């Protein structure tokens, strides 16, 4: 892959990483706040725990993406970027443009979604 393109993906990954870190941080602050503002009203309590649950699952997803971004950055360092981590085939540029941290080619992604890919590394 040409250096200029690689650098632009790297910039995008770093940018995305920074913004996700901001989001994750904010959610954690919010979670703590909801905790300290303990109220005796059961309805409020329920809605608080619902919000917390929602935030938790959202930040779990953010963390997952963060992890994938970090891995993608490592692959750039290792000169393995743009190649499927499962089969080693080149990933379509279209896919990388959409999600620079994508790990799989379309074939392996499909297998993964159908639970037919062993994700062990």
Using CB under 5 A as the binding rule, whether residue 84 contacts Zn ion is answered as yes
Site residues for Zn ion, 97-116, by CB under 5 A, read: 105, 108
Q: Which residue in this structure is represented by tokens 């393995």?
A: 80
Shortest separation between residue 109's beta carbon and Zn ion, angstroms: 8
Residue of 48, 66, 86, 96 that binds Zn ion (CB under 5 A): 86
How is residue 34 written in tokens?
A: 């909801």
Residue of 87, 93, 110, 113 that binds Zn ion (CB under 5 A): 87
C-alpha distances out from residue 47 to 32, 35, 38, 51, 86, Å: 15, 12, 12, 6, 42
Shortest separation between residue 97's beta carbon and Zn ion, angstroms: 18
Q: Which is nearer to Zn ion, 37 or 120 (CB)?
A: 120
Using CB under 5 A as the binding rule, whether residue 66 contacts Zn ion is answered as no
Cα torsion at 89, 64, 79, 120 (round to 10°)? -50
**Number of C-alpha atoms within 13 angstroms, CB side, residue 18?**
5
Binding site for Zn ion (CB under 5 A): 84, 86-87, 89, 105, 108
């Amino acid at each position: 892959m040409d250096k200029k393109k690689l650098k632009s993906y790297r910039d995008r990954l770093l940018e995305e990483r920074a913004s996700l870190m901001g989001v994750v941080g904010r959610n954690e602050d919010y979670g703590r706040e909801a905790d300290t503002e303990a109220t005796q009203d059961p309805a409020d309590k329920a809605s608080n725990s619902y919000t917390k649950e929602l935030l938790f699952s959202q930040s779990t997803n953010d963390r997952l993406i963060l992890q994938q971004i970090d891995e993608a950055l490592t692959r750039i360092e290792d000169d393995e970027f743009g190649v499927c981590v499962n089969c080693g085939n080149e990933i379509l540029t279209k896919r990388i443009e959409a999600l620079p941290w994508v790990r799989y080619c379309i074939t392996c992604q499909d297998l993964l979604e159908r639970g037919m890919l062993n994700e062990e590394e």
